Structure 1
Amino acid sequence: MNPLDTLIREHVVPVMTAAGFAKKGRIFRLAVPNGDHAFLHIDADPVDPAQVVFEVSFWMVLVPSWEFAYRDNPMTGAPDASGALATCKVVPPAVAAHQPDEEGFFRTRWAFAEPDTRDASGRELARILADKTVPRMVRLLDRGTLLEETRTNPNDGLVRLRGALMTEFLLRIDDAPVPDVTALVDKAEAEDEWARPFAAWARARLAHRVAAGG
């Protein structure tokens, strides 16, 4: 077995399955009843022949963000990270980092030497997932919580993938009072040309919500 897959099987799977995540390859998925999803990705980064280098990130995918992303080509399968509204790197502690003295992008890489430090790296990853990352992902599946955290960008590493106003639309469009969301749509459309395709989609979704009694 690939050393990274061994680490995942021995150290990551127990944490993620205990939290209710389903595994497919190196991706773990958790869905909530309203259809929103949280994904954890583990991606190999073959930049060092002497070590196994990889990155860990999580992605928050809401039903509105997924449907807006594929509004011109509706998808029938389950959502994936391509429709994410926000993402965050899981940063390793220095003892498990590929370049612990670097900053920025390069500091997010995990690494281990096979087989000498694989278990030590895996234990660190499992600890961070259990203590911090998974609880945060679960909290962010509440749209109100995600809205608050995306209003400060970045917030503890969380990066919204759309602008602040569109992020607020997508987080509020299914639940906030219709007049409030309509006012936001009107404001955006009046101020920015980029908002026009979104405004048309948002109004159609709001009309459907009203018709359904929402």
Structure 2
Amino acid sequence: MANEAAPKRNRNDFSCQHRQEDGMKYFMTVGTTPLACANSVYWYLRTGKGEIPERVWFIASEDPAGGPSHDSRTHIEAIETLLHEFLERTPRDDWYNICFETDDIIWIPEADLAQGTRLIGDGILKRCKVGDSITIDATAGRKTMATSAVLAGLALYQKELYNVNFHYYWLREFRRESLGKKAYELAVDEIESVLVPAEAIEHELTGIRISEDID
């Protein structure tokens, strides 16, 4: 059912004080629709396809001058508020150890694919240690940002630094009445939550056959 009865929790139950440094690290691209971002994280957790993250970081666009964007910070604060609301309604104690790193943002230029890829890669390297499992949620943000995130994740995986997965979330049908629904208002058959291992992408890439006839 879309609306499940669940015990309410206080948002103060969520804390970064007891995080486990060996846990999975989750990196999310941030667009201009906080609800889409929050819904994506919730359904990643709800479907249970991947590890529960120990920490969640946000990848956001800089302002036109190249500094931290006030608008992006506002979107991230809204995402955190929504996630606390969603998780408070869900009877899963292990979700209360998730730390949302709203003050430690990976900033990238909005329209520079190459620089964005490097900055995301550098940002992940600074926040993770070799051998960590990481998930990159490329659901939100402009195409440049999402592409940069995937390219950075693949590069880090190919260097054998991390176990990398990519997560995507979307509504199965474009219906206006569904666009404004919060995660717990949506039924399982209304959404799609997909987890793609970097290993699977690398396998497909190596399967591309180039004809010997091509000059």
TM-score for the superposition, normalised by structure 2: 0.23
Computing the radius of gyration over CA atoms, which structure comes out larger, 1 or 2? Answer: 1
Higher relative contact order (CA 8 A, sep 6+): 2
Q: Which has the higher helix share?
A: 1
Q: Which has the higher strand share?
A: 2
TM-score for the superposition, normalised by structure 1: 0.24
